Amino acid sequence: MQYLIALCVFALALHQGVALECYVCASAGDNANCGDPFKPDSNMPTCNLPNGTNAVCVKSIVSLPLGESDLVTTARSCAPNLSGDPCAAIRTTINGQGGVVDHCSICSTSLCNGAPHSVAVSVTSLIGAVLLALRHAF
């Protein structure tokens, strides 16, 4: 019984030392696997934030005007949750570009932003990834 208790304590301590891991991708351009349904593969990049960091995984779906139609892209990453909702920063930036955030959600367990309607490095990196993907898409 003592060994079982020691094993449980060890497993708990080990789990608490693990960093939050989130998928990192944007579906614009040639990475359709990032959209829904999500199809991660072994080459799908992830980001890790150190244990103790107030961080979350993020998934967003944004629509940006592109000529006569809208470009819709899904982005996944991780973000520090420093002062509230990271989705608010994404909305502010995308709305400033004339776009619309159709969906934005956060979650706090590893790889949770791979779920179809889950809650995606930093908010700035997420926005940069979306804008970079859009640039390469055209």
Domain that holds residue 64: 19-137
Instruction: Output the pLDDT for position 9.
Output: 30
Give a yes or no: residue 13 inside a domain: no
- Residue 131 located in a structural domain: yes
**Is 33 a member of any domain?**
yes
Q: pLDDT by residue for the chain (138 residues), tens digit each?
A: 343 333 223 333 333 445 789 999 999 877 888 998 998 888 889 998 776 778 899 999 999 998 888 899 999 999 887 767 899 999 999 999 999 999 999 998 999 999 765 333 344 444 555 555 556 555
86-96 and 123-137 helices, crossing angle to 10°:
40
Instruction: Let me know if residue 49 belongs to a domain.
Output: yes
CB 76 within 8 A of CB 59: yes
Q: Does residue 102 lie in a domain region? A: yes
pLDDT of residue 19: 79
CA distance 5 to 34: 41
Structure tokens at 37: 């349904």
Asked whether residue 59 is domain-assigned, the answer is yes
Does some domain include residue 14? Answer: no
- CATH number, domain at 33? 2.10.60.10
If one counts the domains in the chain, the total is 1
Residue 138: predicted pLDDT: 55
Q: Is residue 2 part of a domain?
A: no
Q: How many H-runs (helices) and E-runs (strands) does the chain carry?
A: 3, 6
Is the Cβ–Cβ distance between 110 and 18 less than 8 Å? yes
Within 8 A by CB and 6+ apart from 30, the residues are 136
